[in-house]
A and B are shown apart, each in its own frame.
Chain A
Amino acid sequence: MAASSSAANSQSPALKTYFKTPEGRYKLLYEKSHPAAVPHHSHGRTVSQLTVAYLKEKPPNQNSAAPSTSSSSGGVRSAAARLLGAGNGSRALSFVGGNGASRGVSGSSRIGGPAGASAGSSCSQITANYDGKGTYLIFNAADTLFISDLNSHDKDPIKSIHFSNSNPVCHAFDPEAKDGHDLLIGLHSGDVYLVSLRQQLQDPGRKLVASQHFNKEGVINNSRCTCLAWVPERDGTFVAGHADGNLYVYEKSKDGTADCSFPVIKDPTQFTVAHVKSSKSNPIARWHICQGSINSISFSTVGTYLATVGRDGYLRVFDFSKEQLIFGGKSYYGALLCCAWSPDGKYLLTGGEDDLVQVWSMEERKTVAWGEGHNSWVSGVAFDSYWSAPNSDESGESVMYRFGSVGQDTQLLLWDLVMDEIVVPLRYHPPGGSPTYSSGSHSAHWENNNIIPAGTLQPSPSMRDVPKLSPVVAHRVHVEPLSGLSITNESVVTICREGHIKIWVRPGHGESNRSNSSSDLAVSSSAVSKDRVVTSSLSSSSIKGSSSSSKQHSTVLFS
């Protein structure tokens, strides 16, 4: 009585070292990995996550004295030592802001998310020599945290930091940290460490040095620390999300050891914020967000909004300083695993266990499109904030976004999202009148054009009611399921669960390592915009108030 499907294909062809996009070829530039001898999973299996850290080099004239880091046991290679500068007093070293591209990052490899505001300006800061860029990849595998130089062709990490008590699971980097204490590391045990990346690179040992320790031995929360993020524009404030649905706000200037307790959570289904009484202790607040794990967090570019996704399948967007829920919405089904903001803060991406990439509109407070193309769970999403829409002048005010996603299907997908007010909004045609949705009626909240009331959680829409996107590119990039991606101004960086990293350089960048990144896009753009199914969304108010007025937007979608 069992119904049976017909046989389908199987075996994997060899992985290609490039993929084609409308604007040209992305090529595999470097691979990064770690020593295979990783101890057994004594603290449970942990998935590798990726953080891109832009550690600005201090002025070249201070760069001459070579540090004495020759110990090979520490895994520090001379290439690393050269560019680190001398001395251990890292606080005295200059930290020029960085290009902002990793700011507010969720530490859990959903790097590309709030990709900083400086998409335009960042290119000019980059020098031609890779040593000068100071761009590092921080990733975890089993009980070790690894640091690689993004721009060197060395496959091995330049530094490995071993954790003896619990596995590192997430990390976040603050390029703006004034005191140089910029790298956060969250552990399976719930502990959180704050260190200076530069100091770690300078130290020859395999241990974390000069760290600040928060939630020591899980004293405040002993569930896994699942995600970390610095709050943009708020120097020294960071948040840590945990597997039990709690999120803590810390200020690094405050002591982490002072006694600090929070009231018992009475109703775990309710969002509550509790503050500590003492002004000295850390963390300073606990947000109880949801039942089950918080899987990923992301701050909008200037830190106004905090997005969280979790085991319960909901995306939640909070006004961070007001500590208020703005809106929330559910996946099609299953947990959400990752989230990321568009650089302008108007859109959000989520990915999860329904194999979908969801695009959410801040203005409309709901899903505006579902990206179909992954054959398994979506583990990483990121907007490409360095990508400029080709031929944007042609259609006047059209805005186009490029974003990427990676999944446990080992694929990297790239997507285009077009906002174009010329297009008539088909979604609001009467039922039957729409070529896209000729069958069935629309569910209520798609028909009415009202803004969803603040602070409410929306149920998942029906499959037939949500416009669908198709990817521009689908490329199998690894043999293992992927766990994250980051999009830098020169490349797309992908990481798999086992901690192998691939760097895919943008068209036109090649191996030259040249820094001109501005205008080699825009190749065959017109081909992209043809043959699309068109839908749109009307919005009458703007949440941020500033940039977007009450214009009518519409979404052009691929069929």
Chain B
Amino acid sequence: MVMGAAGSKLEKALGDQFPEGERYFGLENFGNTCYCNSVLQALYFCVPFREQLLEYYANNKNMGDAEENLLTCLADLFTQISSQKKKTGVIAPKRFVQRVKKQNEIFRSYMHQDAHEFLNFLLNELVDILEKESNATKTSPEASSSKKLANSPNHNLPNGTHKEPRVTWVHTTFQGILTNETRCLRCETVTARDETFFDLSLDIEQNTSITSCLKNFSSTETLNAEDKFFCDKCCSLQEAQKRMKIKKPPNILVIHLKRFKYIEQLGRYKKLLYRVVFPLELKLSNTISNADSEYSLFAVVIHVGGGPNHGHYVSIVKSHNHWLFFDDENVEMIDESAVQTFFGSAQEYSSNTDHGYILFYESTGGRS
């Protein structure tokens, strides 16, 4: 088998440094499902997510003929990977992909799909399922204890609101809170509105850094002309200043680079090939508390190709201080310095079309 050969090559490359208990498996492509595979690898190597999903599986496996859903399919897939006897190889995520296509017609076609849309869809689906289960547990207290996982007390938000929205482990892993502060320029009243997010979608510019994109994201924007703000105090549309700050930084910070931009003159989407550098370490300084929350890069979903409607997705992942390259079935070890080959192109036209598209940073706790 081709896969066996590839596996042994990776094992050879890692040698006795192969991490204890870790599995590196490629994922088979079922016709343009690389958008799915690349995101799955990033999520698999998102350790807190994987651990909670495996725990969920362990707690639910005895339920036997429980109804299949996207969560059970994903838990099943991750368990399948982590319990492989071999250290490397290839797995076919068939049941999971079928479930995705059943659930959402967008992903049913064999067309090229957007990995970010898929990630969004997946996380929101998981949340829905977990919330439903949690509701079911509440209404029937004698239900199996395993279902309480989603509702365990340590999974509450730090600044627990009174409405007490359901908080699942997907939330505790990915959710952050933004505060949108708007200051009316007439009466100076500041209106703050919180919104939650699973990822930050950033506008990008040529030859900039993620730090700079985040700064722009939080920079003050003036609302005027067509875009005035309705001030409750003035009871009218007013000019205002608006800015976004991070109220609660997430544990896993997912950054989506808006590389696919609708160009009005062209009447279609265009891929921005811009070079946007992203460091292996990052701090969010646009927080309300002014505390610097610290992050470390552990996965990147990469879009390969010159346009938005075709191309390929691969991912790079950091596991136990090694960087790995996942391209569907294929898994290779790469040097850390290879990460910079996915920054993008400094010039408009370039032969390099491998661009970092979704960045996954994990909190390293340090909040000075």
Q: Please give the residue numbers on chain A whose beta carbons come within 8 Å of chain B beta carbons, in ascending order.
A: 1-10, 12, 45, 243, 292-293, 313, 332-335, 353-355, 375-377, 408-410, 439-440, 443, 459-464, 479-481, 497
Chain A proximity mask over B49-67: 1 for CB below 8 Å, otherwise 0: 0000000000000000000
Contact status A481-B207, CB under 8 Å: yes
Bound CA span A4–B198, Å: 11
22 A-B interface contacts by CB (under 8 A): A1-B124, A2-B120, A2-B197, A3-B195, A3-B201, A4-B201, A5-B201, A5-B244, A6-B221, A10-B205, A10-B206, A12-B206, A45-B341, A353-B209, A375-B209, A376-B277, A408-B277, A410-B207, A462-B368, A463-B285, A463-B290, A497-B346
- When A and B form their complex, which 5 residue pairs have the shortest distance between CB atoms, in order from nearest? A334-B279, A353-B279, A375-B212, A3-B197, A5-B217
Bound CA span A150–B294, Å: 44
Contacts of B198 in A (CB 8 A): 1-2
Can you name 16 extra interface pairs (CB under 8 A) apart from A4-B258, A335-B279? A1-B199, A2-B200, A2-B256, A3-B195, A6-B221, A313-B281, A332-B292, A333-B294, A334-B280, A353-B280, A354-B211, A355-B212, A376-B207, A409-B212, A463-B292, A481-B275
Contact status A334-B368, CB under 8 Å: no
Check: B32 CB closer than 8 A to any chain A CB.
no
Q: Please give the residue numbers on chain B whose beta carbons come within 8 Å of chain A beta carbons, in ascending order.
A: 116, 120, 123-124, 178, 195-203, 205-209, 211-212, 216-217, 221, 244, 256, 258, 275, 277, 279-283, 285, 290-292, 294, 336-337, 341, 346-347, 368
Question: Counting chain B CB atoms within 10 Å of each CB, which of A375, A439, A461, A497 scores highest?
Answer: A375
Contact status B209-A355, CB under 8 Å: yes
Bound CA span A4–B207, Å: 20
Contact status A464-B290, CB under 8 Å: yes
Contact status B279-A333, CB under 8 Å: yes
Contacts of A332 in B (CB 8 A): 283, 292
Contacts of A375 in B (CB 8 A): 205, 207-209, 212
Contacts of A355 in B (CB 8 A): 209, 211-212
Bound CA span A10–B209, Å: 14
Contact status B280-A5, CB under 8 Å: no
A1-B124, A408-B207 given; A333·B201 CB < 8 A: no
Q: How far is the CB of A371 from chain B (nearest CB, A)?
A: 14
Bound CA span A497–B352, Å: 15
Contact status A1-B197, CB under 8 Å: yes
Contact status A7-B203, CB under 8 Å: yes
Contact status A409-B207, CB under 8 Å: yes
Bound CA span A389–B197, Å: 50
Bound CA span A1–B211, Å: 22
Q: How far is the CB of B45 from chain A (nearest CB, A)?
A: 21
Contacts of B120 in A (CB 8 A): 1-2
Contacts of B290 in A (CB 8 A): 439-440, 462-464
Contacts of B368 in A (CB 8 A): 443, 459-462
Contacts of A7 in B (CB 8 A): 203
Contact status A5-B294, CB under 8 Å: no
Q: How far is the CB of B148 from chain A (nearest CB, A)?
A: 25
Contacts of B203 in A (CB 8 A): 5-8
Contacts of A243 in B (CB 8 A): 337
Bound CA span A481–B216, Å: 20
Q: Which residue of A lies closest to B291 (CB)?
A: A462
Question: Counting chain B CB atoms within 10 Å of each CB, which of A3, A9, A243, A334 scores highest?
Answer: A3
Contacts of B197 in A (CB 8 A): 1-3
Q: How far is the CB of A69 from chain B (nearest CB, A)?
A: 36
Contact status A377-B283, CB under 8 Å: no
Contact status A334-B282, CB under 8 Å: yes
Contact status B196-A1, CB under 8 Å: yes
A333-B282, A481-B346 given; A8·B216 CB < 8 A: yes
Contact status A480-B201, CB under 8 Å: no
Contacts of A409 in B (CB 8 A): 207-209, 212
Contacts of B199 in A (CB 8 A): 1-3
Contact status B256-A9, CB under 8 Å: no
Q: Which residue of A lies closest to B198 (CB)?
A: A1
Contact status A408-B209, CB under 8 Å: yes
Bound CA span A461–B283, Å: 12
Contact status B201-A2, CB under 8 Å: yes
Q: Which residue of A lies closest to B290 (CB)?
A: A464
Contacts of B178 in A (CB 8 A): 3
Contact for B281 among A6, A334, A408, A481, CB less than 8 A: A334
Bound CA span A355–B279, Å: 10
Bound CA span A4–B213, Å: 12
Contact status A377-B256, CB under 8 Å: no
Bound CA span A80–B22, Å: 60
Contact for A9 among B205, B277, B283, CB less than 8 A: B205
Q: Which residue of B lies closest to A356 (CB)?
A: B211
Bound CA span A4–B279, Å: 21
